[in-house]
Structure 1
Amino acid sequence: MSDHGIRVGILLSDGIWMSMPDMLLDILQSVNMRRESQLFRCDLVTPLPGPVQSFSGRKIYGDVHIEAVKERYDVIYLCHFWGDVESMAESCAKITPWLQDQYANGALIAGVSSGAFWAAQAGLLDGRKATSYWRHMKDLAKRFPKVEWQDNQALVEDANLLTSNAGNAAMDLAMHLVQRFAGEEMATEMAKDITHDTRRTYDLTLFNIAGLRQHRDSSVHKAQDWLDSNYHDKVEFNQLADDLGMSSRTFIRRFQKATGEKPTRYLQRLRVEAAKHQLINSDNSIKTISLDVGYRDFGFFSQVFKSLTEVSPREFRRRFRPGNS
């Protein structure tokens, strides 16, 4: 983040759904109003001079076109579009080098549904996990076979590249950006204020700590993948290090260098995020939730939870459960 706040470039292209940039702009402006400051500064960016034509046939004018962009953005938001990807790739050839340059200079790339196409076209998703709109998934998998497409995941982050696969997930992605740059409490209060229900058939647990994946150590990513799937079980870090071909000391050092957290603290964060999701979205007792996320000692669970959220599990549920005052 620069002294000028979070710079967000919203990429427009022919066929985009107008609701995508409009929704993000409204959410981020709501945060600015609540903070009484311009935390988020947004530009609508077009591939070429002149307007693009939306899916509904409306002309949309950008603030700047790619060749005139002088900003190094903190976030590039790739809008969902409806159109033939072959012709899109040919007509918008300038997008690929621009995205590569922005990503190389530290921009977080967030693709909504078919917007993931642009990140894949730029080669940014090669060897990484991603998702997209289900209707496009088969064609994208054929066109970009090096991408690990996740057809059962609504939200995915890998190495500072975020993708989502549907309209609801687009709102979840917007709220995640709020959480990431304006804080968890702001995101939770915003979700309640706009009656955005995060109770889906998928779990947002892993997406909420996706910021800890902003690195390119493939071995540490493998460790995170394993922990993400097994956090509720007993974890033997010595065995995990051995499975990755490292000594325990080397594993801890590389994990902390890549994520900023020791493996034990990362595991605690996973468990607390899973507990938060249940506290908001289920009627399970707090002791049951403690067991579900891997803590047999309820007192220790409460201690860890408060160390990461500054409130007890009971207070968290009281504050943030939908319908509570």
Structure 2
Amino acid sequence: MAHITLLAATGCATSCITGVIDALSIANRWQALSGENGSHGQPLFHWDIVSRDGLTVQGENRVRIEPHHAMDDVTATDLILIPGFIAPAHVTHKPPAELITWIRDWHKRGAIIAATCTGSFLLAETGLLDGKEATTNWVFARYFKKRYPNVRLLPERLFTKDDRLICTGATSAYMDLCMYLIKTFGSEELAATCAKGLLLDPNRSSQSPFFIFDYHKAHSDPTVLKAQTLMETHYPHPLSMETLASELAISPRHFVRRFKTATGETPLTYLQRIRIEAAKQTLETTSEPIDVITRQVGYEDTNSFRKLFKKNTGLSPKEYRDRFTRLRN
């Protein structure tokens, strides 16, 4: 039997706790029904919810979470689960020192530490993720990368595991953690059965199809802002870096360096992402052929466009349309 300790903290996404409990409870029921692993009625998982002081915690949207006991009362566990946080204020604040110490100590004692969604920020604060692979909610990926440069962040991934440290992507990716736990402590067959019962795609591995480009305008460089506006307005037409630099009355080299400093991306990558975002919107809302969309967003070669689209989203244009179309028959 595997023991899971779920950490409840102020402002946490309660689904990252209750959803995990529901999934593991379903695994217990399926295993009991099947008699798999010679269970003889013994549950596969047991869990406790803990808080820093054992008192009631108010999660996101004022949902109250009643812990079983305080975190210091834990005497044995296989896995510590850190939930995600939805509000940016809860993501960016410095956690209490005793919480950091508690997480580090349990890792030293051999427990797996799993962070769902933006819970990876709390895990990164411990220093345990330095030099390790990790993922997080893609919405906060740029901030995470800037704040924790020593972590090997893979924002396109739904799930990472490195040295008993697990991270999952945006909110509902906690289900991918659940499937991993069911497979690890149960079996692949049990995990497959639970995935079907929960309507989960067991083969999904990327957050990339869900990314929404945020245009990176949280900076104070007026010249770069002007360049961004030019690209957003004229992306369907040929645009060279030399042309943009000329419009801004600066050298191409200085333009590229200044643009990357302000946005974190090269001008070419930024232009590509604008075009891909425009293509995504057209795929979602129209039935235009792919070759027509290719030209509409500023490309001539449809094959090259398909490759670039898949590189950015993890899906071909057709696969993307099939999954996200807003058209109604």
Q: What TM-score, normalized by structure 1, do the two folds share?
A: 0.57
**Residue in 2 that maps onto 1:319:** none
SS of match in other structure, 1:102: helix
Show structure 2 runs of 5+ residues with no match: 33-40, 208-329
Task: Tell me which structure has the larger Cα radius of gyration.
Answer: 2
Q: Does 1:82 align with 2:86?
A: yes
Verify: 1:153 aligned to 2:153, yes or no. Answer: no
Residue of structure 2 equivalent to 1:95 = 99
Q: Does 1:108 align with 2:120?
A: no
Q: TM-score, normalised by structure 2?
A: 0.56
Alignment of 1:63-212 (within 5 A): 63-69=68-74, 71-83=75-87, 84-85=89-90, 88-90=93-95, 92-200=96-204, 202=206
Measured in 2, the distance between the counterparts of 1:63 and 1:33 equals 22
Q: Given that residues 95 and 118 in structure 1 are in contact (C-alpha distance below 8 angstroms), is that contact kept between their aligned partners in structure 2? A: no
Superposed displacement of residue 65, structure 1: 1.3
Change (3 A) 1:168 1:68: closer
Contact 2:168 2:177 in 1 (8 A): yes
1:28 is the counterpart of 2:33: no
Q: Is the 8 A contact 1:72 1:105 kept in 2?
A: no
- The offset of 1:86, in angstroms, is 7.4
The CA distance in 2 between the partners of 1:64 and 1:192, in whole Å, is: 34
Q: Which runs of 4+ in 1 moved over 6 A?
A: none
Match of 1:19 among 11, 15, 37: 15
**Distance in 2 between residues matched to 1:135 and 1:62, nearest whole Å:** 29
Which one of 62, 79, 84 corresponds to residue 67 of structure 2? 62
Aligned length: 197
Distance 2:197 2:138 in 1: 30
Identity of aligned residues (%): 28
Query: 2:118, 2:170 within 8 Å by CA — same for their partners in 1?
Result: no
Contact in 1 for aligned 2:84/2:171 (Cα 8 Å):
no
How far does residue 57 in structure 1 lie from its aligned partner after superposition? 0.8
- Once the two structures are TM-superposed, the CA of residue 85 in structure 1 deviates from its matched residue by 4.7
Q: Is the 8 A contact 1:76 1:110 kept in 2?
A: yes
Distance 1:23 1:158 in 2: 24
1:103 and 1:129, CA in 2 relative to 1: closer, same or farther beyond 3 A?
same
Greater shift after overlay, 192-201 or 38-47? 192-201
CA distance in 1, matches of 2:90, 2:13: 15
Q: Could you tell me how far 1:179 is from its partner in structure 2? A: 0.5
> 1:86 and 1:189, CA in 2 relative to 1: closer, same or farther beyond 3 A?
closer
Change (3 A) 1:29 1:201: closer
Q: Deviations over 1:69-112 (max 9, x none)?
A: 3x22101111111242577424x332111111111111111111
Counterpart position of 2:3: 7
Which structure has more relative contact order (CA 8 Å, sep 6+)? It is 2
1:15 alignment partner, SS class = coil
Deviation digits for residues 252-275 of structure 1, max 9, x if unmatched? xxxxxxxxxxxxxxxxxxxxxxxx
Separation (CA, whole Å) in 2 of partners of 1:101 and 1:73: 12
Amino acid at match of 1:158: D
